[in-house]
Structure 1
Amino acid sequence: MAKKPDGRSSIYFGNDGSWHGWVTLGIKPDGFLDRRHRMAATEAEVTRKVRELENTRESGQVTKPGRAPTVAEWMTEYLDVICERLVISGKMAPRTLTDYRSKTRHWIIPLLGRHRLNRLAPEHLDTAYTTMLEKNLSTSTVLKAHRKIQAAERLKAGERWEDHDLVFATRHGGPIERTEDWKVWKTILKQAGVRDVRVHDARHTAATPLIEQGVNIRVVQEVLGHTRVTTTERYAHVSTPHHARCRRAPGLGALGKS
Structure 2
Amino acid sequence: MGDDKKRTRQPNGRSSIYFGSDGKWHGRVTVGIRDDGKPDRRHVKRKTKAEAAEAVRNLERQRDSHTVRKPGKAWTVKTWLTHWIENIAPLSVGENTMVGYGVAVRKHLIPGLGAHRLDRLRPEHIERFYARMQANGSKPATAHQVHRTFRTALNEAVRRGHLGQNPVRLAKAPRLDEEEIEPYTVEEVRRLLVAAEQRRNSARWAIALALGLRQGEALGLKWTDIDLAKGVLWVRRSRRRPKYAHGCGDTCGRKAGFCPQRRRTNPETADTKSRAGRRAVGLPPQLVDLLRAHKVKQDAERSAAADAWHDEGWLFATKTGRGTSTRVDYDEWKELLHDAKVRDGRLHDARHTAATVLLILGVPERAVMGLMGWSSTSMAARYQHMVDTVRTSIAEQVDGLIWKQDTSESHGR
Does the alignment reach a TM-score above 0.5? no
Flag the structure with more relative contact order, 1 or 2, with Cα contacts below 8 A and sequence separation at least 6: 2
TM-score (norm 1): 0.37
Larger radius of gyration: 2
TM-score (norm 2): 0.24
